[in-house]
Every structure is written in C-alpha cells, then in structure tokens.
Amino acid sequence: MAIQHDCGGPVFGRLTLDGSCQRCTDLSEGAPPVQWNIRRKYDRDTIDDIRRHKCADSNCGPVCTFGQW
C-alpha cells in the first residue's frame, strides 16, 4: 500500500515539493501512482438490459431515464 498524502493530496495535479509530504516526494521521484479499477463487472448486463428495454411495455413518460442511476 502506498504512503498516504500528508498535504491533503495534489491540488490541480501539482505535488507539494517542499519535502513536507512523503507521498508527493515519492511520486516526484518516479513512484507509480495508485490506479483504481472502476470498471464494473456487470457493465455488459446493463447494456443488454438497456437494449431490451421497451418504453411502451414499461409505460415510460416523455423522457425515458431507464438505466440511469
């Protein structure tokens, strides 16, 4: 696990380079940034559900918001 920022995190992508934040110093020296896996495993099911959705069967209003959450 990476060291946490002491400075509150980069502001507009700018690291604190005065030595007060160990994580900013590590990043400036080439440490890899944390990567998040935001892809949901059920994205494919959601797309298929949207394609199968029939507004007439569901009695949607003038603006269909099916699948938006």
Q: Would you place residue 17 in the very low, low, confident or very high pLDDT band (cuts 50, 70, 90)?
A: confident
Tokens of 40: 């949901």
Domain ranges of the chain: 1-55
SS3 11: strand
| pTM: predicted TM-score of the whole model, two decimal places | 0.48
**Could you tell me how far CA 48 lies from the centroid of its own chain?**
22
Give the integer Cα–Cα distance in Å for 16 and 49. 46
Q: How far apart are CA 57 and CA 30, in angstroms?
A: 56
User: Does position 6 have pLDDT exceeding 80, yes or no?
Assistant: yes
Spatial separation of the C-alpha atoms in residues 7 and 9, rounded to whole Å: 6
Q: Residue 50 has which token pair?
A: 């949207």
List, for residues 28-66, the tens digit of each pLDDT value.
899 898 877 666 555 566 777 778 888 888 888 888 877
